[in-house]
Amino acid sequence: LVTTHYKIENPEIWQTLANEGYVEMAKKKMIITGIGGPAGRAASKYLDMKGISFIGVDMDPNVAKQYPGRFFQVPAATDKGFVGSVIKIAKREGASVLLPAVDEEFIPIAKRIKSFRKAGIDVVISPLSTIRICRDKFLTAKTLQKKGIAVPRTLKLGCKPSSIERFGFPALTKPRSGRGGRGITVFDKSSQLLDMVKKFDDSFILQEFIGGKEYDVNLYVHKGKAVVNKVLFKTKLEHGNYGNASGTVPIRDKAVEELAARTAKAIGAEGPIDMDVRKDAEGRPVLLEINPRIGANVLKTPQVLDRLLKTAGLI
């Protein structure tokens, strides 16, 4: 076996030779961010199960301490040293594929995609324009509405009280760039919201409450096409009729799958995508939220991870 450090000009030819058994390709290593978070933990469990080599980073020093030499601490995504630190650790540890798993990191990472490429690191992430849409729930609703995709009626707060009176209730307020079900309040009538409206500026949205069943769709998008599109039905929600799912089961639902595939295409997604979908009173699916990453429940849809690992050259 000869190890070469030359840049491979035609990776397809080498892959063919490897498939025929003439050469052996060095196995790639993955680096996962937010390794202590729900999506990061799911990915690491799967890679361990498959015996695939990876390292993890997290801003929490306690997470880094769990596996010395395998998990490392990095600055917060808002810190200007964040990207540099991830690149340094990846190079030092020989990791050449980055899987970001924390929402706050997506924009800083996508903005510096060239720095990663220069360091020989492939990043499994959607384009910056897609991420910007997903990171802002107001922009998500407005963009999809323009593309003819069903979304809840949505209003930016910090508006006139008369707009709230006219809005229609029940409705809920949530932060435009929240996550993990944080900061959500449900209002049955406009007077309840008007009583405390000063608490909400335009970093919050008011959204029509969609009252039906809820689904988590896990997709893998390749060249604009949803090549993996798996629906999980949320059997139990944290606050009864809304909130994080504490139970999910895989199901088939053509209407939900179709909405998810159209959404992925409309926003120009690439790679792993996770969506929250709910059905309205008429049973029509409505798109609530898009996370441009693997979802916390991705172990229930391993097809997404298999496709991701295959595309990234790890299996």
Ligand X SMILES: Nc1ncnc2c1ncn2[C@@H]1O[C@H](COP(=O)(O)OP(=O)(O)O)[C@@H](O)[C@H]1O
Q: Where on the chain is the footprint of ligand X (CB under 6 A)?
A: 137, 152, 172, 174, 178-182, 184, 207-210, 214, 237, 242-243, 276, 278, 288-289
285 preceded by a cis bond (ω within 30 of 0): no
Of 98, 150, 145, the closest CA to residue 120 belongs to 98
Nearer to ligand X (CB atom), residue 127 or residue 178? 178
> What residue has token string 């990043």?
123
**Binds 107: which of Mg ion, ligand X, none (CB < 5-8 Å by kind):** none
Least distance in angstroms from the C-beta of 128 to ligand X = 19
Give the amino acid at 135.
R
Mask: binding to Mg ion, 269-308, rule CB under 5 A, as x and -?
-------x------------x-------------------
Nearer to ligand X (CB atom), residue 2 or residue 281? 281
| SS3 state of residue 78 | coil
Nearer to ligand X (CB atom), residue 57 or residue 151? 151
Can you say whether residue 218 is alpha, beta or left, with left for phi > 0 and alpha for psi between -120 and 50 degrees? beta
Least distance in angstroms from the C-beta of 275 to Mg ion = 8
**Binds 94: which of ligand X, Mg ion, none (CB < 5-8 Å by kind):** none
Nearer to Mg ion (CB atom), residue 214 or residue 270? 214
Burial class (CB in 10 A: 0-12, 13-18, 19+), 142: middle
Return the exposure string of 149-162: e unless at least 16 CB atoms fall within 10 Å of the residue's CB, then b: bbbbebbbbeeeee
**Binds 170: which of Mg ion, ligand X, none (CB < 5-8 Å by kind):** none
CA triple 26-32-36, angle to 5 deg: 140
Residues that bind Mg ion (CB under 5 A): 276, 289
